[in-house]
């Protein structure tokens, strides 16, 4: 309630990206002062990991893994950092995040801005060595470097996987962001199969997930699920942001998240559930108990929030942690 009444109005005075960096800096500096994590628990297990409840932080908010302990303190049961690329990159030109409060939505075209796999791996190793590692599972989301041609995507992902696997409880392959040119080509059956086979050759017992688009046609989604099953993928994150901006009056280029994505992502979850037993992390348009329950009833075992957290703050986690 404090967040929605006082902190959010102050943050929303700032441009979205400045507010994002300010919030991360605040969390890093004030972690010892944060309220105790929610006592609500509804334990769940997925891909051989245990979670205090279903609600985790989606990739995108803490791209560089700078506030891991704060997310646990705020009540999340797991956190996914990234998207991390093999090479450090600045992302797309600013402005590149846009708020739509009336629609409870965001559009972003960040373009995988991050410090690069090696730097982030070193940062995480130092945090672990200092005893600051959180007591919740940490996933690392990896993607393709912008400068790397699609034909060399496999080696690019492998570089990041090798650098980061020692610090991850699971690895998620982002093949669905709309903000890196050509990336969604990796969702195609042959390209995805090639990528998954290469990672599998070095995967060992590491849980491996694939994050997919909400804009897939049914036949394309069925093909992705079949490829994931054939490669023993641990989980599917459904979904990334959408290129369908029909709910937004004043449009900007980029991926749309938040309330307008709710039904599209849930429909994808239902289709996956009807085809496979692979664990699903539901993501997209979760802003209250009702939208969270909808994802679970559609077949999601875990949930991730991003835009909902921007608009609702920690109260959202406390509301839905008991589901």
**Of 187, 160, 197, residue with least CA distance to 82:** 160
Is 177 considered catalytic here? yes
Q: Is the Cβ–Cβ distance between 185 and 94 less than 8 Å?
A: no
Rounded to whole angstroms, the Cα distance separating 5 from 196 reads 45
**Of 67, 64, 118, residue with least CA distance to 90:** 64
Length of the chain: 323
Which of the residues 69, 145, 176, 177 is marked catalytic?
177
| Beta carbons within 10 angstroms of residue 15's beta carbon | 13
What CA dihedral angle connects 179, 314, 323 and 236, to 10 degrees?
Answer: 20
Long-range CB contacts (within 8 A, 24+) of 270-275: 270/298, 270/299, 271/218, 271/221, 271/222, 272/221, 272/225, 272/236, 272/238, 272/299, 273/298, 273/299, 275/222, 275/225
| Beta carbons within 10 angstroms of residue 28's beta carbon | 14
Burial status of residue 30 (CB atoms within 10 A of its CB: 0-12, 13-18, 19 or more): exposed
Query: Annotated active-site positions, please?
Result: 177
């Amino acid at each position: 309630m404090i967040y929605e009444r006082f902190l959010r109005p102050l943050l929303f005075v700032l441009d979205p990206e400045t507010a994002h960096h300010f919030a991360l800096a605040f969390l890093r500096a004030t972690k010892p002062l944060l309220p105790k994590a929610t006592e609500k628990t509804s334990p769940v297990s997925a891909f051989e990991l245990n979670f205090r409840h279903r609600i985790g932080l989606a990739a995108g908010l803490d791209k560089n893994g700078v506030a891991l302990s704060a997310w646990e303190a705020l009540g999340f049961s797991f956190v996914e950092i990234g998207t991390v690329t093999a090479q450090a990159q600045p992302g797309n030109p600013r402005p590149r995040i846009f708020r739509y409060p009336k629609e409870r939505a965001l559009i972003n075209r960040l373009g995988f801005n991050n410090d690069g796999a090696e730097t982030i791996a070193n940062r995480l190793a130092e945090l672990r060595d200092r005893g600051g590692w959180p007591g919740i599972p940490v996933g690392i989301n990896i993607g393709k470097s912008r400068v790397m041609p699609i034909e060399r995507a496999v080696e690019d992902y492998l570089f990041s996987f090798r650098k980061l696997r020692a610090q991850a409880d699971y690895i998620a392959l982002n093949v669905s962001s709309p903000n890196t040119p050509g990336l969604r080509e990796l969702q195609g059956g042959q390209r995805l199969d090639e990528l998954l086979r290469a990672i599998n050759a070095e995967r060992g017992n590491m849980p491996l997930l694939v994050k997919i688009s909400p804009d897939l046609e049914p036949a394309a989604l069925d093909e992705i699920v079949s490829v994931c099953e054939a490669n023993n993928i641990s989980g599917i994150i459904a979904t990334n942001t959408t290129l369908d901006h029909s709910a937004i009056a004043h449009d900007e280029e980029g991926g749309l998240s938040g309330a307008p994505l709710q039904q599209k992502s849930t429909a994808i979850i239902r289709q996956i559930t009807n085809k496979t037993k692979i664990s699903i992390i539901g993501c997209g348009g979760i802003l209250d108990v009702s939208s969270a329950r909808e994802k679970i009833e559609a077949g999601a075992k875990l949930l991730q929030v991003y835009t909902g957290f921007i608009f609702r703050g920690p109260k959202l986690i406390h509301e839905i942690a008991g589901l």
